[in-house]
Every structure is written in structure tokens, then in C-alpha cells.
């Protein structure tokens, strides 16, 4: 099984760094998926949800307010201004989702962009419960 390295970095440090099967990100021009051996690319990211699948099949979700992504054949590096990893028990998940919603609201864009990002967050989080 082929994998790629995913690294998610914020101003406060590394949030995630591991091998994954695939990654889906909220690109500035729309959501897109990344698999091993993806063509090299640099892009802007908008507020939304990064979803990934680890080698063991575990799914992960990280909410971001905006950032940049650098894709190479062997790995993906995401530099996010702000990010919240959505994980833990059900009560911890609810607290993380509230924190992620506040992060998304901080983007200060139009209401439609905020509602779209929040909807995507809610949908992704349901898959973890």
C-alpha cells in the first residue's frame, strides 16, 4: 500500500506529521483530493476541513481558517494560520467542534463562506462519532 507524508503546521507548531493513504483539502478554487504520486502543486487553502485516512484506515479531521499547501509526489505540507484537530471521546469532540466553529467564524468573510465551512465541518465530524 502506497502512502504519502502529511504534515500540518501552524504558527504554534506541528499539528500532524505521519504517513497517510489520502488527503482531501479545501482549496481556494474548490475541494480536491491528493493521493501518492500526485503532481507537484502549490495552492491557497480557504476555511474548511482537511480530511485524511491513515495507513490503518483511521480517518482524521482538521479544521483550518486558511493556509497554503505544497504537494510533492512523496508528501504534502500544509501551513495553516489556525487549525483544530477534531478527535477524542464524544464530549471532547463537541468541545473541539465548538473550538473549530469559532476558528472558522474568525475568517471574517461573507456568511455564505462561513456557513459552507461549518456545514463541511459538521459533516466530517459525524463520520468520527
The CATH number given to whatever domain includes residue 122 is 2.60.15.10
pLDDT at 43: 96
Q: What is the pTM of this model?
A: 0.88
Q: Which has more pLDDT, 62 or 1?
A: 62
- Report CA-CA distances (Å) from 76 to 26, 33, 64, 70, 105: 14, 11, 15, 6, 26
Among candidate residues 65, 95, 69, the one with its CA nearest the CA of residue 81: 65
Place of cell 463562506: 113
**What's the whole-number average pLDDT of the chain?**
89
Task: State which residues form the domain around 39.
Answer: 1-129
Domain tally, the chain: 1
Report the alpha-carbon distance of residue 32 to residue 13 in Å, rounded.
25
**Does the pLDDT at position 6 exceed 90?**
yes
60-113 pLDDT, tens digit each: 999 999 999 999 988 999 999 999 998 877 778 888 888 888 888 887 767 777
Amino acid at each position: 500500500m502506497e502512502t504519502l507524508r502529511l504534515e500540518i503546521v501552524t504558527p504554534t507548531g506541528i499539528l500532524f506529521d505521519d504517513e497517510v493513504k489520502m488527503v482531501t483539502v479545501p482549496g481556494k478554487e474548490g475541494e480536491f483530493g491528493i493521493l501518492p504520486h500526485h503532481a507537484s502543486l502549490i495552492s491557497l487553502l480557504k476555511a474548511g476541513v482537511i480530511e485524511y485516512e491513515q495507513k490503518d484506515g483511521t480517518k482524521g479531521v482538521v479544521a483550518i481558517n486558511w493556509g497554503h499547501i505544497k504537494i510533492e509526489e512523496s508528501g504534502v505540507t500544509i501551513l495553516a494560520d489556525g487549525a483544530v484537530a477534531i478527535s477524542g471521546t464524544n464530549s471532547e469532540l463537541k468541545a473541539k467542534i465548538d473550538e473549530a466553529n469559532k476558528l472558522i467564524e474568525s475568517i471574517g468573510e461573507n456568511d455564505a463562506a462561513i456557513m459552507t465551512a461549518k456545514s463541511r465541518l459538521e459533516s466530517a465530524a459525524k463520520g468520527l462519532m
